[in-house]
Amino acid sequence: MKVALVGATGMVGEVMLKLLEERNFPVDELLLVASAQSVGKEISFRGTIHTVISMQAAIDAAPQLALFSAGGDTSLQWAPAFAEVGTTVIDNSSAWRMDPSKKLIIPEINAHTLSRKDKIIANPNCSTIQLVMALAPLHRKYKMKRVVVSTYQSVSGTGVKAVQQLENEIRGEKGAMAYPYAIHKNALPHCDVFEENGYTKEEMKLAREPQKILNDRSFAVTATAVRIPTAGGHSEAVNVAFEQDFELAEVRRLLHEAPGIILQDNPETNTYPMPMYAHGKDDVFVGRLRRDESQPNTLNMWIVSDNLRKGAATNAIQIAEYLVENKLV
């Protein structure tokens, strides 16, 4: 199995590399790919030093799999070139997510739709993944009508520059700004760029992607995405209205039994999900389950996940594992 990792020197790329090792993914030959400035850089994997190569060199090697985490423009330019030589691309950018000819995959939910013909597979947005992971088992049982989600997203979702900005501000030092305002001791209702309708791109991803993943447009999602000064882990306050009524005990059972979900829901012991406990883990944590007393058939919940792992790298690796296990590459 020859695997290319495109964007190997970025934050998500580094986590992907770590996960390939942690999960003992069957890599016989690893091609590390990054921008021209990083070509020649040396990176260790499984005790062996690998040298970063160019995009064209990786395409010429025709790997079976290419894991992309290098931004939308890079994916649009280079993913088709890999696909042309027979490589299956799993792309972590937003480039292909809403392309009707490409599948948007969360393995626990819709990996069964994949086939050998799928040469470019899209990884959903980090906030979408944890949201849909928690909603899917409930949607199957009670049928969602409307979801209202407010996110509390860590600076790591923006990238290294944002993490550095937060660290500089904590130390009281000036430096490059990833955001238009300070993030330390602040909250910015501004994730990604604003669109003409007044929503940000991040908010519209949350509105559109769940419908595609669940292959169902009978429900609607509205979102407000907020950046907060945490170093890692995204949190979401979710209000979901169902067509059918529910019992909280049954909701807890469904979530407890869902793969990839850990239920943390005991107010008596102050047990609820928090980013500090999700850090470095691959699960999605759900808690603060309670009935919305303002209207019928409506549930409030709190969802937390490590955005660099299940929200990005882990989900991509899980797709790759599914492809290998089912002989689709």
Closest CA to 322 of 109, 145, 167: 109
For residue 191, indicate whether it is catalytic: no
Q: Give ∠ CA 13-17-21 in degrees, rounded to 5.
A: 165
Q: Give ∠ CA 65-70-75 in degrees, rounded to 5.
A: 70
Residues in Cβ contact with 266 at an 8 Å cutoff, skipping those fewer than 6 apart: 272
| Contact between 185 and 242 (Cβ < 8 Å) | no
Q: DSSP string of 136-163? A: HHHHHHH-EEEEEEEEEE-GGGT-HHHH
Closest CA to 136 of 303, 282, 319: 303
Query: What is residue 314's three-state secondary structure?
Result: helix
| Active-site residue (options: 50, 126, 139, 191) | 126
Residue 329 to residue 280: CA distance in whole angstroms: 29
| Active-site residue (options: 50, 139, 191, 234) | 234
Characterise 62 by phi-psi region: left (phi > 0), alpha (psi -120 to 50), beta (else): left
The DSSP call for residue 156 is G
| Contact between 125 and 234 (Cβ < 8 Å) | no
What type of residue is 19? L
Q: Which residues are catalytic?
A: 126, 234
